[in-house]
Amino acid sequence: MRVAIATDELTGVASALPEGLRRRGHVPILHGAYVGDERHDWAWASEAAARDVREGRADQAVVACWTGTGASIAANKVPGVRAALCVDAQTASGARRWNDANVLALSLRLTSQAGLDEILDAWFESPASSDASDRDNVAHLDALEHAGTGG
């Protein structure tokens, strides 16, 4: 799977993230502080990764900043993106399963290496639910998004 990743600084687990994805068989697409020719700020870096998902260059994305909140907010501004800030494996699994989240947001401050491994395993091992009520909720999010853009 192609996974866009973005961070505003190479601190905490940010340095371990590309290799963590590769070990799981994914192909990282790097943004922000991972590359020299892009703006590193969390809003721009997270937007770039989210746009990769929106435009089909990536299947999913992982975005990170100090708290994870800004990265999550920025990614969620891109139409079609459902970013979830996850600080543990249970939240990551639920975000994938019940919310069909396609962007994982991480806190560089709170996520340990062990936590990162657990979160990534839970995220990539949890398929989106096929339950009718879960699908209805996701469809409602899509409808809200389109109502807000006039389209």
State residue 149's pLDDT score: 61
| Sign of torsion over alpha carbons 74, 2, 141, 104 | negative
pLDDT at position 134 over 90:
no
Amino acid at 147: A
Query: What residues are annotated to the active site?
Result: 65
8 A C-beta contact, residue 107 and residue 87: yes
Note the pTM of the prediction, 2 decimals: 0.95
The CATH number assigned to the domain holding 73 equals 3.40.1400.10
Q: Who has greater pLDDT, 23 or 129?
A: 23
pLDDT at position 88 over 60:
yes
Residues of the domain holding 63 = 2-149
User: On the CB side of 135, how many CA atoms lie within 13 Å of its CA?
Assistant: 5
User: On the CB side of 98, how many CA atoms lie within 13 Å of its CA?
Assistant: 8
State residue 150's pLDDT score: 53
8 A C-beta contact, residue 65 and residue 72: no
Work out the percent of the chain whose per-residue pLDDT is above 90: 91
* Total domain count, the chain: 1
**What mean pLDDT do residues 58-78 have?**
98
Kindly report the length of the chain.
151
Residue 88: Cβ-neighbour burial (10 angstroms; 0-12, 13-18, 19+): middle
